[in-house]
Structure 1
Amino acid sequence: MPQRNHRAAIVGTGGIATAHARAIAASGGRTTLVAVADVDLDRAKAFAQTWDVTRAYAGLGELLREEQVDVVHLCTPPKLHAPQAVECLRAGVTALVEKPPTLSLAEFDTLIEAERGSSAYVATVLQHRFGAGALRLRRLADAGELGRPLLATCLTQWYRDEEYYAVPWRGTWQSEGGGPTMGHGIHQFDLLLSVLGPWREVTAVAARQARPVDTEDVSMALVTFENGAVATVVNSVVSPRQTSELRFDYERATVEVEHLYGYTDDDWTITPAPGQEDVAELWAQGRSTVPSGHEGWLCAVLDALDRGEKPPVTAEDARRTMEFIAALYASAFTGERIRSGQITADSPFARSMEGTGAPWEKVRNP
């Protein structure tokens, strides 16, 4: 497969931008960071100096006018993702968008429409799909080596204090779109969905337990899948012992991973069912020391672009995950079980993840 050098820019030079710059630097010359932008031009210039980039701009528009770039890594606050991605697509530039990609399903559908009218693509950064353990699990599951999926658990139990939420755009529906369900747990349950496939129904609760925010700080969901599997999903920012865990119980084995912000093969374990010890041998094949992270995701993006294909995760892939989030909030705030496809364009939960309003807001403002 012929490879070319992709000219890249990073917009938003806060903390997560460093992971993107490292991934670009580790690409082996397949992509080059040629420009950066930030509303704080001094911060953009400092970031550019750190990564040996000659040009820094105060905004995306100026960057797109002045530079010839192939891809833009959007590392800005969530409320900017959709309008900036649309701006990139209209300029014929592929947008690689940090999570959450939009604040709502309605916003996400504007991205899909913009992509259809563009020569470029939009892709969401959901890097845990691309670690060696996740790739191996999907390969074995798809080949039927593990038997039927029966049960799964998905935990994102993190800790974010009040200082974390002192950043103005955090913890609000208007600028972040939601709480840990949107901004933290999305990595884990996106991996869950990528393994178990289409979900069918969601029953959920959400609560504001401890943080001075508008959104939830805890959510829990029971999920059924089209293949018959059932799962529990927990998202939290109030858990002092932090962990990110996934467990899949198949007919022939239990497969588990426990980590925090990224995993290696050492974080995965497999427990064969009695008499199914050959599954462990299959799992041991092709072990890797490469961690999950932006490097593996970016490599997959570049592979797809070199083939002239949509980069992973596609807009359609990400929309299924966003629909799951909307369904979780809809169930939590209405007390109803929500089916896949139930949240149509006229639903308040399509226009905003807050939908009809969080229960704690109704108590405060009867």
Structure 2
Amino acid sequence: MTRKLRVGVIGAGIAARHLAGFGWNKELFEAPVLCSLDEERGKALCEEYGIGEYTQDADALFARDDLDIIDISTPPSSHFELCRKGIESGKHVICEKPLFGSIAEVDEMGRILARYPGRKLMPIFQYRYGSGLQKLKLLIERGLAGKPFLTTIETHWWRGPDYYAVPWRGKWASELGGGLLGHAIHAHDMLNYVHGPCAEVFSYGATLVNPIEVEDTAALSVKMQNGSLATLSMTLGSRKEISRLRFCFNDLVAESIIEPYTMGRDPWTFVAGTEEHQARIDEVLAAYVPGEDGYTRQFELFHKAIVEDTDPPVTLQDARNSLELVTAAYFSQRTGQPTPMPIAADHPLYRSWLPAGEWRAAATV
């Protein structure tokens, strides 16, 4: 009999998508309680998803012994403390992106997890599980891609004044960063998911679209540890919203659809250099069996990891790779120099990439 895990949800914004993901896995999860400071939105979600309990007291969730998982869908600046409390209370934890506000916090969480064997923390990177990207992973595993050359990623979305009317958005202290951290982070994680960690980045960043504190436009040139190169562009000033990923290998080119928020899904195109190799690729793809994607698939895999006591499908190291790219990009923008990775404890931005004044202000809160 399948073990059903009980989830306490914190948040009432993106948490709705989490609840939909749990809902598609009804045999694996149930969510008996939701916590949100926004009573109107919180109670509305409880009604929509049949959640029996609503509270504004997050500590009440940590104190309960009938919950297996704490699901954190709150503004970024709260993530570390909520994750810490969740792990220390004996729960597994799911946390939305961006996971934390520094590489130092990621490393500290690693030390916390080491003190609580068996507890698992899973960062959210649900875009990995689209069928298009999964097909590319399959072709690479079968040895049909060849040597990687170049990846291009475009995250060109639109965010106007209404988006920043939410008080915590667009501010260093609460959102922790701009489009690189909160918007393009998914597509950039897909880069790491395919090619592994980055080795060096040169970046330009600017605030061009809205009168906010953080960047809304950026251009990055990246060297990967596997020897390939990548160019990444991000803007929140594109009236036509697109996301596009294009991977050039010796033996094929893989290109995503351009739907801005579902670019990992089919139909991707896979073009080989010869008819014979195209036939081999087409044969593998014809046998591919699509399944659930997005949050539904990531949560399904997390349940498996908990029951079998294996690593979660997205790990703390995956989040570190992602945040290293953000940290290095911010450092490059401020110094005008290429920035190598990984980011070690002696790096100037290891403890925070916030501008100095914002870091001091956040540290005193």
TM-score (norm 2): 0.92
CA contact (8 A) 2:92 2:119 kept: yes
Counterpart mapping for 1:28-67 below 5 A = 28-66=26-64
Equivalenced residues, count = 355
For residues 66 and 60 of structure 1, what CA distance do their matches in structure 2 show? 11
CA contact (8 A) 1:270 1:283 kept: no
For residues 284 and 157 of structure 2, what CA distance do their matches in structure 1 show? 29
CA contact (8 A) 1:265 1:287 kept: no
Write out the 4+ residue segments of structure 1 that deviate beyond 4 Å after TM superposition.
Answer: 287-291, 355-358
For residues 330 and 208 of structure 2, what CA distance do their matches in structure 1 show? 16
Structure 1 residues 107 and 100 mapped into 2: Cα distance closer, same or farther (>3 Å)?
same
Q: Does 1:325 align with 2:323?
A: no
Q: Which residue of 1 aligns with 2:179?
A: 180
Q: Which residue of 1 aligns with 2:25?
A: 27
- Code of the residue aligned with 1:239 in structure 2: it is S
Q: Which residue of 1 aligns with 2:243?
A: 244
Aligned residue for 1:134, secondary structure, equals helix
Counterpart mapping for 1:175-254 below 5 A = 175-254=174-253
Aligned residue for 1:68, secondary structure, equals coil
CA contact (8 A) 2:99 2:123 kept: yes
Q: Which residue of 2 aligns with 1:295?
A: 296
Structure 1 residues 291 and 7 mapped into 2: Cα distance closer, same or farther (>3 Å)?
closer
Q: Does 1:124 align with 2:123?
A: yes
- Code of the residue aligned with 1:116 in structure 2: it is A
Quote how far apart the aligned CAs of 1:64 are: 2.1
Q: Which residue of 1 aligns with 2:261?
A: 261
For residues 106 and 169 of structure 1, what CA distance do their matches in structure 2 show? 23
Once the two structures are overlaid, the 10-residue window that deviates more, 260-269 or 159-168, is 260-269
CA contact (8 A) 2:69 2:92 kept: yes
> CA RMSD of the aligned region, Å?
1.9
Structure 1 residues 139 and 287 mapped into 2: Cα distance closer, same or farther (>3 Å)?
closer
Identity %: 29
For residues 291 and 212 of structure 1, what CA distance do their matches in structure 2 show? 39
Could you list the per-position Cα deviations for residues 243-301 of structure 1 after superposition, in whole angstroms to 9, with x for gaps in the alignment?
11100011111101122112465331112113432244145224456564111111111
Structure 1 residues 291 and 256 mapped into 2: Cα distance closer, same or farther (>3 Å)?
farther
Given candidates 104, 117, 132, the residue that maps to 1:106 is 104
CA contact (8 A) 2:93 2:122 kept: yes
Quote how far apart the aligned CAs of 1:172 are: 1.2
Q: Which residue of 1 aligns with 2:142?
A: 143
- Code of the residue aligned with 2:219 in structure 1: it is M
Structure 1 residues 286 and 355 mapped into 2: Cα distance closer, same or farther (>3 Å)?
farther
Quote how far apart the aligned CAs of 1:324 are: 1.2
For residues 264 and 186 of structure 1, what CA distance do their matches in structure 2 show? 14
CA contact (8 A) 1:248 1:255 kept: yes
For residues 279 and 355 of structure 1, what CA distance do their matches in structure 2 show? 51
CA contact (8 A) 2:11 2:73 kept: yes
Quote how far apart the aligned CAs of 1:67 are: 5.2
Q: Does 1:305 align with 2:303?
A: no
CA contact (8 A) 1:181 1:219 kept: yes
- Code of the residue aligned with 1:48 in structure 2: it is C
CA contact (8 A) 1:11 1:59 kept: no
CA contact (8 A) 1:264 1:290 kept: no
Given candidates 72, 81, 84, the residue that maps to 1:83 is 81
Structure 1 residues 212 and 265 mapped into 2: Cα distance closer, same or farther (>3 Å)?
closer
Q: Does 1:115 align with 2:113?
A: yes
Structure 1 residues 205 and 357 mapped into 2: Cα distance closer, same or farther (>3 Å)?
farther
Q: Which residue of 2 aligns with 1:97?
A: 95
Could you list the per-position Cα deviations for residues 196-230 of structure 1 after superposition, in whole angstroms to 9, with x for gaps in the alignment?
11221111110111211111111111111122111
Q: Does 1:285 align with 2:283?
A: no
For residues 141 and 160 of structure 1, what CA distance do their matches in structure 2 show? 35
For residues 235 and 59 of structure 1, what CA distance do their matches in structure 2 show? 37
- Code of the residue aligned with 2:274 in structure 1: it is P
Q: Which residue of 2 aligns with 1:363?
A: none
Quote how far apart the aligned CAs of 1:305 are: 1.2
Could you list the per-position Cα deviations for residues 80-113 of structure 1 after superposition, in whole angstroms to 9, with x for gaps in the alignment?
1111000000001111000001112122222222
Quote how far apart the aligned CAs of 1:310 are: 2.5
Aligned residue for 1:347, secondary structure, equals coil
TM-score (norm 1): 0.92
Q: Which residue of 2 aligns with 1:347?
A: 347
For residues 347 and 172 of structure 2, what CA distance do their matches in structure 1 show? 17
- Code of the residue aligned with 1:26 in structure 2: it is W
- Code of the residue aligned with 2:250 in structure 1: it is E
Q: Structure 2: any 5+ residue segments left out of the alignment?
A: 359-365
CA contact (8 A) 2:130 2:266 kept: no
Could you list the per-position Cα deviations for residues 316-358 of structure 1 after superposition, in whole angstroms to 9, with x for gaps in the alignment?
12111111110111111111111112x3324332222235689
CA contact (8 A) 1:97 1:125 kept: yes
Q: Which residue of 1 aligns with 2:70?
A: 72
Aligned residue for 2:175, secondary structure, equals coil
